Amino acid sequence: MNLIDTHAHLQFKDYNKDRDAVVKRNSKELEAVINVGAAIDSSKGAVALAKEVPNFYASIGVHPHHPNQWDSKTLTKLAGEEKVVAVGEIGLDLHTYKPLRVLRSNELDDYPKPQLKDQTSMLHEQITLAIERNLPIIFHCRDAYDELINEIGQYKGTIRGVMHCFIGDANQAKRFLDFGLYISFSGNITYKGNNTIREIAKNVPNGKILIETDAPYLPPEPYRGKRNEPIYVKMVATKIAELKNLSIEEATNITTQNAKILFKI
């Protein structure tokens, strides 16, 4: 398939037991996969996979819930590695998890209480790095879309990038599009209750839409409750085709071309 999964995490511990098989299967079936860092260690892991697999690429960054893992010097060094195509995932996240919530990935264990000041400082440093290296940005956001809009408005015209796994409202999507950003959708676009996200996806201009899996998270129907994989991005493409009244070939060509333009792959 000439599909590109623009956001996955095959370096996460969810794949430790069978990573070689997963990598072989997904690299064979897809044109490209971008593995995205969420902290220093997983950014290093994404770079390592990109070096090992010809059609794998890496994004490096520190997720807003990991200010305690911030290391500007190391991140700057990683940004210069071969096949690093973006800075991210970075952004703002004010979602508060229940204390006893058990999360599968080491990158998301023990989320701290959101501290907007720390997140904002780290966000701007990483935006500056992206501008200096002429790299696009993969933005993460949860329960903080208006706050993120306020923070990145000053960079309009100087940054390029994508709102990863968008779950905001139509007005917020318009604001990000006005900034020149792409909007990306993942497997949750197939979930029964997500009519709002589907309506937004339907109205995102074809030239500004991307698809992803966010694997190992958010597997599309009928794989909910199981570990996600990049190959399931085809189901996201199928849903986009349905919403936009396109053929699967047209939806694939549009999203793949958009990914190649943004990430220069």
Residue positions forming the annotated binding site for a divalent metal cation: 7, 9, 89, 140, 164, 214
Contact status, residue 181 vs residue 139, Cβ threshold 8 Å: yes
d(CA 21, CA 34): 17
Strands 182-185 and 209-211: parallel
The token duo for 23 is: 């990598």
Q: How far is CA 166 from CA 45, 85, 131, 179, 212, in A?
A: 25, 20, 23, 15, 11
The token duo for 242 is: 């349905």
Provide the annotated binding site.
Answer: 7, 9, 89, 140, 164, 214
Burial class of residue 99 in the structure, from the number of CB atoms within 10 Å of its CB (0-12 exposed, 13-18 middle, 19+ buried): exposed
